[in-house]
Structure 1
Amino acid sequence: MLIVRNRRSRTTAAAALTATALLAGTIQLAAAPASAAPAAPAAIKDKVLVIGLDGANLDRIKAANAPHLKRLMAEGLTASSTLYSSPMAATSSGPGWSTIATGVWPDKHGVKDNSFAGKQFGTYPDFLTRAEQANPSLNTYAAADWEPIASADAGGPIFSPAVDKRLGLKGDANGYGVEDPKIAAAAADELRNGNPDASFVYFGEIDIAGHNSGPGSQAYLDAIARSDRHIGTVLNAVTSRATYAQENWKILVTTDHGHKDGGGHGGSTIKERGTFVIAKGAGIPAGSVRHDIRLVDVAATALKQVGVPTAGLDGVPLDSPDSDAFDTVRGSLQARADETAVPAGVQGWTHTAPAGWSVDNSAMGTGGVTEWRGWSFTTDEFWTQAQRDQWRELNVRGRDVFAVADSDEWDDKANSGKFDSTLVSPKYPVTGGTSRTLRFQTHYRHEAGQTAQVLVSYGGGAPQLVKTFTADATAQPQSIALNVPAGVSDVQVRFRYAGTNNWFWAVDDVRLG
């Protein structure tokens, strides 16, 4: 049988001659040279998909029939986290999704509630828009049925018209059960048959179940199960792509806020402030759990995945190493001693300092609340529940374990003297005659009568004052230039806080760079 594989045109005579010669066996088909190099493998293409679940509580996801979400957790990373509260922003969808999309906190993106008044999306655009601005060849996609996310209605859009393709449907109290399946089907078609490099897909039904029935209800669990099936549809579309074997996908799932036990959100309870990030992809250890991740890290991770710089964001990519010394004391955290407002099972404070650090309480008064007798090391979950709505919830740039001096809480139990405690760093090696920069995150609430000072000792000399806080500095990064004298080989930093039933000072991520 003669099979013609080459369909290029030939003359009839040539074709006849070739056929006759082949049949006669007088023409030999040339074999490929043995030394021919194999074809180069196709380049791996990095892609990212962010899935948003409105109003989803992580503990209820773990209790629900949610095999796709649980498989992502088993094969990747799970991280619980917490939000701000007023006056920075309400725990509502406008600030929540704006924070996720932009990678910065509300004090930058400007959205404090669902009115979107004061939004600064031109300065802090969503991650899909930022990707388009950095590399217009990237394909971007967003699909959502809460209108402000992908359409101009109700104060939006969060994801701007610069995004290559946006699908915005109208969901409401009765519509998400209808619209979420449409979002899943449309997103699955785009992810399977299109070529998006960076995508955001939103489902809203869980939030409505939280409002109507509370997160403890079967209706809430059922809504999670239905949303999980939508996630399965979307994930199956990704793995069914014809080019999937040549692609490196990172999948992230997150939420904009939680729900209090009776349902609803907007306030400062730990349940309303509760969020999470679930992530799967190359470099993410299977079954891993982390405590240092914040909601702003979603955008940073998505951008890095598609090769876009993350400078200027509050978020950091998930693969950035956690080198904060304070986080090393997590294993020493204890349950409450005197703080009865904190649930008994929360392990969240210690006086054990990290290696190389110390606390000087030589001027500290006696008595007072045990947890806050001098500088302590604590977590947001523990510290904010000690007393809500006094701005402790605004410490959004602190991560995992941080240091706190809190004269207000210390004074809630009988004491004598005043709160006067100094946190002392290790000795950092330096070269004399050079300049170094002291950086740290601070969350300071000021009141007359208290002092907050940063002092530096060069080569073991007397501590020198380099910074005094005289006004609120809530959730702010600090940068202090230090001129190291000639002949000095080390620098030591002190954080001294003194007060009497005043407010507090939180410090985190201290670095000398």
Structure 2
Amino acid sequence: MLTAGCLGIGLLLPATPAMAHDSEDLAATTSFSEDFDSLSGSLGPSVHETHIPKTTLGWTSTAPTGWTVANDASMGAKGKSEWRGWTFATPSFWAAAQGGQGREDFAKGSGVVAVADNDEWDDGNNPGEQLFASTLTSPSVAVTGGSTVHVNFDSNYRQTGPQVAALEVSFDGAAPERLFEYSTAVLGDQVYLQDRTLTQPVTVPAGATSMKLGWVIEKATNDWYWAVDNISVDSEPRAGAEPPLPDPGPQPSDVPDGISSRKVLFIDFDGVRFDKLTEYATPNIDALAAKGQMGVGYMQDNALGPTVSGHGHANLLSGVWVDKHRSPDNNFANPNIEAYPDVLTRLEQVDPGFSTFSTADWKPLNDHLILRPDVKIQQTGASPAATDEQSVADALEVLGTRNPDAMVVYLHNGDATGHSYTAESPQYKTTIEKLDAQVGELVAAIEAREAASDEDWLILASTDHGFTGYGHGGDQHLTRMIWTLASGGDVPVSGTATRQWRQVDIAPTALAHLGVDIDPEWGLEGVPIGTASTDPFDTLAGSLGDVVDEAAKPSFSGGWTKQTPNDWQIDEQTPDLGVAEYRGWSFMDGEFWATSEEGQGRGSFVRARDVIAVADPDEWNDKGNPTASGARFDSTLYSPWQDVRPGGTVDVSFLQHYRQITAGVPQHAEVIAEYDDGTSQVLWSRDGVTDGALFEINQPVAFSTTAPAGDVSKVRIGWRLSDGANNGYWAVDAPEIRADAPDPAIAPVITSSLTDGAILRGRADVSMTVAGEGLQAFHAQLYTADGTQVPSVKGYQWEPSTDSLTLPAVDFSTLADGEYTFVFSAKATSGLRGELKVKVVVDNSRPGLDLTLADGRVGLVATDAVGIRRVAANLYDAANAKLLKAIGSTSASTAIGATEWTGGWALPNGLASGTYTVRAAVTDLSGNTRTVTSTVTVP
């Protein structure tokens, strides 16, 4: 009986390519075959696979005649009976054990197949930490010494570490030798070699007469499976068969020379937490950030897909979110990556002259996400630490000997260490600091390139997910917190990120740096890092405050405010109850919102970024339960008014994330277009009673409508959430409103007798003059600084007979000092309107003036809230009746302008003894004057 050989034994023979044979070749001779179908009559019902009907006869632990199964004694009766070591089952019975993991893909297997499934074995009957170890051994097969035979069989294999699988051979009862081995050290992690026909040549030693074959799985826990069928020993390889071990693939020396002096390195870290980068010693990453920018963004929560590697890397490489690339987990069951390929493949599509290179050990990344770069290296090794070393070494070779344009270097060990020890462990610290040292090696290699002075390298880095405890995949803040680093190229140098850069920004940043024009048809959802925001909500980024009623937030969660952007308004009808942060529409960081209550999908509004608008009655109700007493959330967010012509098109677009959690609760939401003629249009609405439970996740939306044909000149958009209780939420971002405004070339054009900033006092005529055709009405109105009309200062003319409107002798002396705005408007019969706003200052107050006489000098201090025009001093007789001499003055042609002036002049020389009067005066910019006098005696 064969036993498992040790890992140190080398492979007996190297894998060789399958050989094709046509009908004229010598027919292969079969000396042995087994398809396990003789066991069909011995199959029994499930034992521990309780979800498989007992009427299904599908498995047996009894091997065919001459075959043996040897399990490690420590396995005992642990684990599910159906899969305790090598067993035999129908493909349908095996596939029913658990779907979605490739068991159903074994199309080459039929009848009965041999199965070693430690994954399913570990799922029941309490195996605990028990290792799975089992060998399936064939009967003796007659062979001829000195010949070569070929072991052919069909295989369906999956592995993660630490599972080891092997095919062994023993001649004439001697110790077994390994023909090939599957393991993490040989193949890497997450390897899927499914539904393959394999051929393994075996050289028979001289004098040997028999051999036994053994299929071994050992050191396995919950690490997947191996199934085999249709085994034969033949003189030749089976037609279409392939070697067991995959071809080693391309090497660094295969990287072609590139075409660009602008180059990109993207370091794709797996499972590296941002807070730990800031806590640990990472001088190389810090140095890159100092030459560019680095900061926190967030990936989606489980409403879009779990926080696992598959879609995290897909987000990074493709530039689109998970609902587009459709890689929501690590199984890649229905991907859309061909439509949204990785950045390297995108570059090859744009120009095959680009030189593209990637290296990674995680096989699904190479199999499903990185499609067709020039060179794609699959690293294999005993551990992620080892394969990271290999990836860095290969990248260093490429940088030192080749001329690449774009490189992706995947580093795995952060994730592996986090899973084994947690992200709070000393081991994780050691790993992060090692990863930083590897970054330093890559940067040094770039700087040492012979052509470095002529190249412009952009270095990008990010991670696929964070960590909470030992794992990830959930909605937790630390799991969703990702980071981006961009250094070099055209990235603005700020050290810290100027915005919340997202995973989807990596690909467009790389493309832009390489001079690729991003085609809108590609549907990319990121922006090049450094792109300035045009979102009005983001103007509030510096105004966000800390929590009031909410619990303290985790780090990097941002803040909130009730302040609105310029000219935006909130019509607040929500009672002054509940959680202050959510009392009507508020503006906040998206992560401030998401961390208010995790697990309800708030964290999946990832197309939004920076500052978003939030209406959340569910969170509002969490303080004092105001809805229990009948209170309801009712709040409308309004955009600024903007020009529109009658019958013109109004286009509205924004991002939204809307949820009605419970059917039948009368939460109501609507988007409204309102016009200045008092009419409105509902563009979109949802209602909890009529529409039931809804979750419209992370959606770009757009509407188009037509303005009424009547007396319309302005439009604004409102987002109203009413009848809100403890039932849902609505968030919007990046609103854009485009309206067909009147043609300025034919709209009325207005000028005024006033200039912007004019200073007014007393009485003055105010006029407007209009140029245009078909003039129908003129209007003039004065407003205070807070927008209140001044009833006494207005004018209106219908069907004017002249081109002007005059407000005669406006008495500004009756108005309080301060800033005002004149709004002059004119309307044509075409419906086109013109408007002119002129800011003015009313100043009826006299300036202040202090006069001092000392040591033969006149000292003056003049003050005025608006500004001083001129200051002067003259000498009069004792009766202050006769001007004797001018003492001094400021310029009569150039106004002082300042609100305070200090100065003076000496008294005239040669004055006769006696008493004199000094008269000083100050005039402000509006013409108000103050005069003061003082006497002076000359001895």
Normalising to structure 1: TM-score of the pair?
0.85
Shift of 1:62: 1.6
**How big is each residue's C-alpha offset from its partner over 1:148-175, in whole Å with a ceiling of 9 and x where there is no partner?**
222x3xxxx3101x2111111136xx61
Cα contact 1:442–1:505 (8 A) shared by 2:
yes
* Alignment correspondent of 1:164: 374
**How big is each residue's C-alpha offset from its partner over 1:110-169, in whole Å with a ceiling of 9 and x where there is no partner?**
11111122211121111111111122221111111222222x3xxxx3101x21111111
**How big is each residue's C-alpha offset from its partner over 1:447-496, in whole Å with a ceiling of 9 and x where there is no partner?**
54211111112346333211223543210001111334567543211000
Instruction: Choose which of 266, 269, 275 in structure 1 pairs with 2:476.
Output: 269
* Alignment correspondent of 2:631: 417
> C-alpha distance in 2, partners of 1:296/1:345?
19
What is the SS of the residue equivalent to 2:614?
strand
Structure 1 position 301 matched with structure 2 position 485:
no
> C-alpha distance in 2, partners of 1:101/1:178?
24
Cα contact 1:366–1:417 (8 A) shared by 2:
no
Cα contact 2:638–2:718 (8 A) shared by 1:
yes
* Matches for 1:190-229 after TM superposition, within 5 Å: 190-229=398-437
Shift of 1:46: 2.0
Structure that is richer in strand per residue: 2
* Alignment correspondent of 2:718: 494
**How big is each residue's C-alpha offset from its partner over 1:225-254, in whole Å with a ceiling of 9 and x where there is no partner?**
111121112122222222222222211110
Residue identity matched to 1:502: N
Q: Percent identity?
A: 37
**How big is each residue's C-alpha offset from its partner over 1:389-432, in whole Å with a ceiling of 9 and x where there is no partner?**
11111111110110011111111223242111000111234455
> C-alpha distance in 1, partners of 2:424/2:525?
33
Residue identity matched to 1:458: Y
Cα contact 1:44–1:246 (8 A) shared by 2:
no
> C-alpha distance in 1, partners of 2:607/2:584?
22
Shift of 1:44: 7.1
Shift of 1:82: 0.9
What is the SS of the residue equivalent to 1:355?
coil
Residue identity matched to 1:276: W
* Alignment correspondent of 1:461: 678
Structure 1 position 426 matched with structure 2 position 632:
no
What is the SS of the residue equivalent to 1:386?
coil
Stretch deviating more after TM superposition (404-413 or 189-198): 189-198
Instruction: Choose which of 585, 591, 616 in structure 2 pairs with 1:375.
Output: 585
What is the SS of the residue equivalent to 1:445?
strand
Q: After TM superposition, which residue ranges in structure 1, 4 or more long, deviate above 6 angstroms? A: none
* Alignment correspondent of 1:388: 598
* Alignment correspondent of 1:473: 696
Stretch deviating more after TM superposition (363-372 or 222-231): 363-372
> C-alpha distance in 1, partners of 2:713/2:529?
34
> C-alpha distance in 2, partners of 1:226/1:444?
43
Residue identity matched to 2:583: R
Relative to 1, partners in 2 of residues 1:44 and 1:477: Cα closer, same or farther, differing over 3 Å? same
Relative to 1, partners in 2 of residues 1:238 and 1:432: Cα closer, same or farther, differing over 3 Å? farther
Residue identity matched to 2:379: L
Residue identity matched to 2:638: V
Instruction: Choose which of 104, 116, 126 in structure 1 pairs with 2:332.
Output: 116
Structure 1 position 440 matched with structure 2 position 659:
no
* Alignment correspondent of 1:37: none
What is the SS of the residue equivalent to 2:354?
coil
Instruction: Choose which of 530, 536, 560 in structure 2 pairs with 1:319.
Output: 530
Relative to 1, partners in 2 of residues 1:393 and 1:345: Cα closer, same or farther, differing over 3 Å? closer
Q: Tell which structure's C-alpha radius of gyration is larger.
A: 2
What is the SS of the residue equivalent to 2:272?
coil
**How big is each residue's C-alpha offset from its partner over 1:249-273, in whole Å with a ceiling of 9 and x where there is no partner?**
211110000111x232111110000
> C-alpha distance in 1, partners of 2:283/2:552?
35
* Alignment correspondent of 1:85: 301
Cα contact 1:50–1:200 (8 A) shared by 2:
yes
Relative to 1, partners in 2 of residues 1:188 and 1:489: Cα closer, same or farther, differing over 3 Å? farther
Instruction: Choose which of 177, 180, 200 in structure 1 pairs with 2:385.
Output: 177
**How big is each residue's C-alpha offset from its partner over 1:302-352, in whole Å with a ceiling of 9 and x where there is no partner?**
122223315211111113221111122122222222222744995422111
What is the SS of the residue equivalent to 2:485?
strand
Shift of 1:91: 0.8
Relative to 1, partners in 2 of residues 1:489 and 1:72: Cα closer, same or farther, differing over 3 Å? farther
Instruction: Choose which of 26, 30, 45 in structure 1 pairs with 2:261.
Output: 45
Relative to 1, partners in 2 of residues 1:199 and 1:433: Cα closer, same or farther, differing over 3 Å? farther
Instruction: Choose which of 327, 335, 338 in structure 1 pairs with 2:546.
Output: 335
Cα contact 2:316–2:507 (8 A) shared by 1:
yes
> C-alpha distance in 2, partners of 1:69/1:439?
39
Stretch deviating more after TM superposition (499-508 or 306-315): 306-315
**How big is each residue's C-alpha offset from its partner over 1:368-391, in whole Å with a ceiling of 9 and x where there is no partner?**
111110001112221111111111
What is the SS of the residue equivalent to 2:509?
helix
What is the SS of the residue equivalent to 1:381?
helix
> C-alpha distance in 2, partners of 1:246/1:430?
52
Residue identity matched to 1:325: P
Cα contact 1:300–1:310 (8 A) shared by 2:
no
Relative to 1, partners in 2 of residues 1:346 and 1:99: Cα closer, same or farther, differing over 3 Å? closer
Structure that is richer in helix per residue: 1
* Alignment correspondent of 2:804: none
* Alignment correspondent of 2:736: 511
> C-alpha distance in 1, partners of 2:671/2:345?
40
* Matches for 1:47-86 after TM superposition, within 5 Å: 47-86=263-302
Relative to 1, partners in 2 of residues 1:238 and 1:484: Cα closer, same or farther, differing over 3 Å? farther
Cα contact 2:619–2:726 (8 A) shared by 1:
yes
Normalising to structure 2: TM-score of the pair?
0.47
Cα contact 2:490–2:513 (8 A) shared by 1:
no
> C-alpha distance in 2, partners of 1:506/1:318?
24
Residue identity matched to 1:482: T
Stretch deviating more after TM superposition (499-508 or 410-419): 410-419
> C-alpha distance in 1, partners of 2:278/2:556?
19
Relative to 1, partners in 2 of residues 1:61 and 1:460: Cα closer, same or farther, differing over 3 Å? farther
> C-alpha distance in 2, partners of 1:159/1:106?
16
Gaps of 5+ in 2: 1-258, 739-939
* Alignment correspondent of 1:397: 607
> C-alpha distance in 1, partners of 2:392/2:544?
42
* Alignment correspondent of 1:450: 667
Residue identity matched to 1:377: F
> C-alpha distance in 2, partners of 1:460/1:319?
42
By relative contact order (CA 8 Å, sep 6+), the higher-ranking structure is: 1
What is the SS of the residue equivalent to 2:530?
coil
> C-alpha distance in 2, partners of 1:343/1:79?
16
Cα contact 1:336–1:347 (8 A) shared by 2:
no
